[in-house]
Amino acid sequence: MNPSPPVTWRTHYALLVLASIYVFNYIDRQLMAILIEPVKQEFGISDTGIGLLSGVTFAVFYTVFGLPLGRLSDRIGRKPVIAFSCMAWSLMTMLCGMAGSFFTLVLARIGVAIGEAGGTAPSVAMVSDLYPAHRRSTALAVLMLGSSLGAIVGLGLGGWIAQHHGWRYAFLLIGAPGILLGLLLLLTVRSPAPPRVRQAAEGPQEGWLRTLAELLRMPSFLWLVLTGGAAAIAGYAIGTWSPSFLIRSHGLNMQQAGFLVGVVGGTGSTIGTLVCGMLTDRLARRDVGWQIGVPLLGTLLSIPFALAYFLWPQGVAFHIGDTPVPQAFLFYSAFGFFGVWWATPCLGAITHLFPAHRLAQATAIFVMAMTLLGVGVGPLLIGMLSDVFVPSLQGESLRYALAASVVLLVLAAGFLAMALPRYRARMKGLADGAATVGAVAV
C-alpha cells in the first residue's frame, strides 16, 4: 500500500487547492456544452461537426499526452505538472474566445486538451500520496466535486455570460482564474517527495509500453478501465447535449438550460459525489468488495431515471423564478445524484491496487479511456445519431439519440459486476502478501 504522511491542516489545504483546480478543469472542458448553439450559428456547422470539436478532437490529444504527463508526475512530482498544466489549459480557454474561424477554435481546443491531460491523473495520485487508504475515497470525492461544481459554474455562469455578452466573453472570463490557481498551487502547497525518489530502491524506470502492458494484464484493473470507458461515453454524451435537448425539446432558452443542467443538475451530482465517497469508505472497511459494489449499485439505479428524463413528454412541473422546470428534468436531478457514483470509487480502487511509483500512470490509463471513449465518442455518437434521425423524427431527433446512450450504462454495470470478484481477490492477495512480509520481518 502507498504510505501517506500524517493528515494535518496543510493536507486539507492542499486538497482544497487541488479541488479548486479540478473545478476549473471541468469548467473549461464543459463550457463548450452550453455554447453549442451560438457557435453552430456563427460558424455554420452541423451537430456532427460540434461532436468532432467537443469530442474526438479534444479526446485524441488529451489521450496522447495523458500517459506521458502522468509518467512525468511519477518521476518529478505531482505539483509542478498540475500547476503548469492548469495555467496552460486556462490560457488556451481564453484563446478560444479569440478564435476568428472554426479552424482556429479547433486549434485552441486542442491546446485545452493538452493542458488538461496533465490535470486529473496527477491530482488523483497526489491525493493518494496525501491521505491514508481508509480516508481516500472521501478525499477523492472532494476532489471529484470538480466535475459537478464545474458543471454548475461552467453551464450556469457560462450560459448567463453568453446570453448577455456573447459566447466569446464566456471563454475569456471563465478561463482567466485558472492561471492564478496554478500559481497558488505552485507557490503555497507542500507536496510529498516525487515517487521516483521514494521508490529509488526498486531499480531503473521501465519503458512506458512495458508499464502499459503490465498494468492492463491485471484483470481487476482492465475491467475498471472498460467501466470508465462505457460510463464516460454515456456521461459525456448526456452532459454535452442536455442543454441543447432542453432547448430543442422543452422550449428553454440558453440561459435557462444552462441554469437547470449546471446549477440544479450539478447540485445533485455534487451531493451524489460526496455521498458515494463517504458511503464507500464506510462500507469498504467491512468488505473491500464495496469499493466496486457502490458504483455498481449507483449505475443500476441511474438507468431508469435517465430513460425517464429523455422519454418524458413536454410539460412544466414548476418555475424557479423566471425559469420553467420541465417535468422530465426532475428525473435528471435523480440521475445526476446516482449517475456519478461510478467515478470516485473506481479511482479509489485504483489507488489501492498500485504502488506510488505507478499510480499516476495507472490513473492516466483509466482517465485516458474515459476521455478517448467518453469525450471522443460520446458527443460525436449522439451528434451523428441526431443527424441520422432528423428525416424521420425532425425536431425530436436529439431526444431519441440521447435515449440510446443509456445502453452504455447497462454495459458499465456489467463491467463492474465482472470487476467486483477480481478486485476482491486482488485485495486479498495484497493483504496476504503484506501479512507474510510482516511475519518474515518479525
User: Per the domain annotation, does 279 fall within a domain?
Assistant: yes
Share of the chain above pLDDT 70, in %: 91
User: Per the domain annotation, does 305 fall within a domain?
Assistant: yes
**pLDDT tops 60 at residue 129:** yes
- In angstroms, what CA-CA distances link 271 with 13, 29, 313? 21, 21, 27
- In angstroms, what CA-CA distances link 148 with 47, 135, 261? 25, 21, 10
Which residue's C-alpha cell is 413528454? 313
Rounded to whole angstroms, how far apart are CA atoms 275 and 291?
13
Residue 208: the pLDDT is 58
Crossing angle of helices 136-151 and 343-353, in 10° steps, is 140
Domains held by the chain: number: 1
CA 196 to chain centre: 27
429 touches 234 (CB < 8 A): no
User: Per the domain annotation, does 201 fall within a domain?
Assistant: no
Read off the CATH number of the domain in which 435 is found: 1.20.1250.20
* Cβ count near 320 (within 10 Å): 12
Whole-prediction pTM value? 0.76
User: Per the domain annotation, does 110 fall within a domain?
Assistant: yes
User: Per the domain annotation, does 356 fall within a domain?
Assistant: yes
DSSP 131-192: S-GGGHHHHHHHHHHHHHHHHIIIIIIHHHHHHHH-HHHHHHHHHTHHHHHHHHHHHH---P
Structural domain span for residue 64? 9-192+207-441
Residue 439: the pLDDT is 44
Q: What is the pLDDT of residues 274-333, one digit of tens each?
A: 999 999 999 998 999 999 999 999 999 999 999 999 999 999 999 998 899 999 999 999
At 442, the pLDDT band (50, 70, 90 cuts) reads: very low
Q: What is the pLDDT of residues 198-223, one digit of tens each?
A: 454 444 455 556 666 777 788 899 99
Report the candidate in 66, 41, 90 with the shortest Cα–Cα distance to residue 50: 41
**pLDDT tops 50 at residue 434:** yes
Share of the chain above pLDDT 90, in %: 38
Average pLDDT score, the chain: 85
Name the residue type at position 118: G
User: Per the domain annotation, does 416 fall within a domain?
Assistant: yes
**pLDDT tops 90 at residue 226:** yes
At 43, the pLDDT band (50, 70, 90 cuts) reads: confident
C-alpha triplet 145, 146, 151: angle, nearest 5°: 105
**pLDDT tops 60 at residue 438:** no
Q: Which three cell numbers stand for residue 400?
A: 431519441
At 412, the pLDDT band (50, 70, 90 cuts) reads: very high
Query: Which of 25-34, 59-68, 338-347 has the highest mean predicted lDDT (pLDDT)?
Result: 338-347
Mean pLDDT of the 130-152 span? 81
User: Per the domain annotation, does 200 fall within a domain?
Assistant: no
User: Per the domain annotation, does 2 fall within a domain?
Assistant: no
Q: Which three cell numbers stand for residue 394?
A: 425532425
Q: Which one is predicted more confidently, 156 or 424?
A: 424
